[in-house]
Amino acid sequence: MNAPAAASGRASKAAAARSGTAPSAPTAALLGEAQAAVSTSANVLRDVRERYRAVSGASRNGQHEALATAAAGTERTSLIRIDLALQGLENAWLLLDPTDQTLVLDD
C-alpha cells in the first residue's frame, strides 16, 4: 500500500489504455494525490497501532492478574477498532486504484 504517486500515474495510464479513454492530466493527478493521502494515513495508523501494542503490553506488566485481564479486554477492543479503521483505509486505497476492475460501470 506504499504506492507513490508516480506508480498511481502509471496505473491510470494503463487503465486508460484498456478502456480506450485517456483521463485528463488534472484528474489523474488528483486521483494520485488522493491515493497517496490514503496511503500516508494508513501508514501513520499502522505506526500508532504498533506503538499502542507496545505501550499496552508494558503497562500490564506488574499489575494484579484481575486488573491486567480487565485492561487487556479494553485494550483488545481498542486495537480491534484501530484495525477496522486501517481496513477501511486499505479498502479506500483499493477503491481509488484506477486499474481496479471490481466495480461494474453502467455504459
The predicted-structure confidence for 45-54, as pLDDT tens digits, reads as follows 999 999 998 8
DSSP 22: P
Q: Hunting for cell 494525490 — which residue is that?
A: 33
CA distances (Å), origin 59, targets 13, 46, 69: 50, 20, 12
Q: Give tens-digit pLDDT for 3-34.
A: 444 444 555 444 444 454 556 888 889 999 99
